[in-house]
Amino acid sequence: MLLKPGSRIKMEVYLRDPPVVFHSTVKNCDVKTIEIVAPIVNGKRVAVPPNTGVTLVETSPGGLLRLDTSVQDVKTKPQALWVVQTPGIEGIHKIQRRREQRFEVDLHVKWKKTMGTGSYEPTPLHLINVNSMGAMVSLDDNFELGDEIIIDLTPLIHVSGELTDQRIATKCKVVRMIGEGGTLVGVIFETLERMERVHLVDALRRLKSRVV
C-alpha cells in the first residue's frame, strides 16, 4: 500500500489557484482507491465535487511522498470520507531526504551500461554534484527510472589531489528524474565497498567544493 491507515497527510486541493490546503488522516488504502477522512473547517466536514484534482503529501523521516490524483466520490455515511483514486506510477513522486551533504563538482567521467559489452561509452558523463551515497549526472542521452549503469569515479579521487592507485567504479541506479527528457538524473551508488566509500568521502573533503 502507498499509504497506511492512520497516516497524517496534507492535501493540496485544486479548487482555485493557489490550491486550498487541508490536513487529514487516511482511513483505508488499496490498489484502486484511498479513503481519507473529510477535513473539518469551522466545525463542519468539507465536501468537494467529483473529479476535483488533489495532491496528497505524506511527510516521513525518509522524505516526502507526493501523489497526484483526483477525488472520485464523497461519502457521508457511516463516516464522511473522500474517496480518492490511487494514482498510476506517473502520479507517484517520492523525494528522499539526503543522509549527508552533497558537493558541487564539474567533472566528466567514463560510464558504461551494465548490460553492455564491457567497454566505456565514447561520450563521457557529466558529474554535477556528488556525495558518498549518490550523484546528479547529465548526459546527451535519455535515462529512465530504474536504469543501471557503471560510473568510473576514479577522476574524482585524482582531482582532489590524493596520490593513490585507488580506482573506484560503481554500479548506479537512476532513482530520480530532474525535469523532462531524462538527460539530468539522480543516481545512487549500489556497489561501493566500505574502503571505497572512505576514499570517496576523503576526496570530497579535500575538494572543498560548494555544498548544494
All three cell numbers of 33, joined, read 482507491
pTM of the entire predicted model: 0.52
AA letter at 129: N
Q: How far apart are CA 84 and CA 69, in angstroms?
A: 7
Domain count, the chain: 2
Q: Could you tell me if 83 and 111 lie in one domain?
A: no
- Domain assignment present for residue 3? The answer is no
CA 18 to chain centre: 24
Q: Could you tell me if 45 and 127 lie in one domain?
A: no
Per-residue pLDDT of the chain (212 residues; tens, 9 = 90+): 678 899 999 999 999 888 999 999 999 998 899 999 999 998 899 999 999 999 999 887 666 788 999 999 999 888 999 999 999 878 888 765 555 677 888 889 999 987 666 788 888 999 988 888 888 898 877 888 888 899 999 888 776 665 556 778 889 988 887 765 667 888 888 888 888 888 888 888 777 665 55
Give the count of beta carbons closer than 10 Å to the beta carbon of residue 1.
Answer: 12
Q: Could you tell me if 82 and 108 lie in one domain?
A: no
Q: Could you tell me if 87 and 124 lie in one domain?
A: no
Strands 53-60 and 8-13: antiparallel
Q: Could you tell me if 123 and 92 lie in one domain?
A: no
C-alpha separations of 80 from 20, 45, 70, 98 in Å? 19, 7, 17, 38
**Residue 43: which CATH number?**
2.30.110.10
- Structural domain of residue 132, as residue ranges? 103-207
Q: Could you tell me if 87 and 122 lie in one domain?
A: no
User: Under a CB-based contact definition with an 8 Å cutoff, are residues 168 and 197 in contact?
Assistant: no
